[in-house]
């Protein structure tokens, strides 16, 4: 049982949907980012996705690209991101943290070393965009062995024939990418997402969280309503990019969380 499994058990018992928020570690700088991170559970966030900055985020739109650039320019490193998680864990031992990013910074550190360090820091799961099931031997299998969840993305192009392969080594939850596209792009429509959720849930007992293209409390409510929860990233990162103070960013997050929890 990871913190993610425990979290979903609790939400299920309470009959609530999960609200998952994404921020980029180190954006706009390590200190501010750590302050926002620490405030997320209080703003109603059930699960935290913490972006690991990468120079070449091929699946991300301009909002997340720029967040990564700001973080890197401010000197963020993988070590600083792990340190942020460790610091967070000193005051919060319940809220799951999922690192989300691309493979090269992990590969560069060395998979075994990274997994040991991530586990020790208090990371619960990984979402690595450029590791499809075909590359499971790289990180997915070792991560599960190290006690971390490996959360896979399912997409509108993942057809029924391929779905079992995508679900096979997934744990924690399944992240359904609601659009074919990059983060922060087109708006997701609950009417389109609903049937897709049913299609995937027919093949797995794992919770299903929907992300990409959710920008408002209303959309969070609508999308969470047809799934087990929803993820908001770019909309929150935009608030940070606009230079809003930490408490205003957290107020914005609270609005989204309340939306998702109304579902």
Catalytic residues: 49, 60
By the rule CB under 8 A, 152 interacts with another protein: yes
Q: Which stretch binds another protein (CB under 8 A): 36-44, 156-164, 241-249, 250-258?
A: 156-164
The single residue among 16, 89, 162, 262 that binds another protein, judged by CB under 8 A, is 162
CA within 13 Å, CB half, 118:
31
> In this chain, which stretch among 19-27, 40-48, 176-184, 255-263 interacts with another protein, using CB under 8 A?
176-184
What is the nearest approach in angstroms of another protein to the Cβ of residue 12?
26
By CB under 8 A, residue 112 contacts another protein: no
- Give me the 61-100 binding string for another protein, x by CB under 8 A, dash otherwise: xx--x------x----xxx---------------------
For the sheet with 174-177, list strands across it.
149-150, 125-128, 97-101, 47-51, 18-24, 229-232, 208-211, 174-177, 153-154
CB distance 23 to 240 below 8 Å: yes
DSSP structure class, residue 163: H
Q: Do 49 and 37 meet the contact criterion of CB atoms below 8 Å apart?
A: no
Say how far apart CA 148 and CA 175 lie, in whole Å.
16
Helix (H, G, I), strand (E, B) or coil at 245: coil
Check binding of 185 to another protein (CB under 8 A): yes
Residues found near another protein in the complex (CB under 8 A): 53-62, 65, 72, 77-79, 102-109, 129-135, 152-159, 162, 166, 177, 180-182, 185
């Amino acid at each position: 049982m990871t913190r993610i499994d425990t979290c979903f058990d609790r939400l299920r018992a309470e009959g609530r949907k999960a609200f998952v928020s994404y921020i980029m570690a180190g954006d706009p700088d390590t200190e501010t980012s750590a302050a926002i991170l620490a405030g997320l559970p209080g703003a109603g966030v059930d699960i935290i996705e913490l972006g690991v900055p990468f120079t070449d985020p091929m699946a991300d739109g301009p909002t997340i690209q720029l967040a990564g650039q700001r973080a890197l320019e401010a000197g963020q490193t993988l070590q600083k991101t792990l340190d942020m998680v460790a610091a967070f864990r000193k005051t919060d031992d319940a809220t799951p943290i999922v690192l989300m990013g691309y493979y090269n910074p992990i590969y560069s550190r060395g998979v075994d070393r990274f997994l040991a360090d991530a586990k020790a820091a208090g990371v619960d799961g990984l979402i690595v965009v450029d590791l499809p099931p075909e590359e499971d031997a790289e990180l997915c299998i070792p991560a599960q062995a190290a006690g971390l969840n490996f959360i896979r993305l399912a997409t509108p192009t993942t057809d029924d024939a391929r779905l079992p392969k995508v679900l096979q080594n997934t744990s924690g939850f399944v992240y359904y990418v609601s659009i074919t596209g990059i983060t922060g792009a087109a708006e997701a429509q609950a009417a389109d997402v609903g049937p897709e959720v049913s299609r995937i849930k027919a093949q797995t007992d794992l919770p299903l969280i929907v992300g990409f293209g959710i920008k408002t409390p209303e959309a969070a409510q609508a999308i969470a309503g047809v799934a087990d929860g929803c993820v908001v990233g770019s909309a929150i990162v935009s608030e940070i990019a606009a230079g809003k103070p930490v408490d205003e960013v957290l107020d914005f997050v609270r609005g989204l969380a309340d939306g998702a929890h109304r579902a």
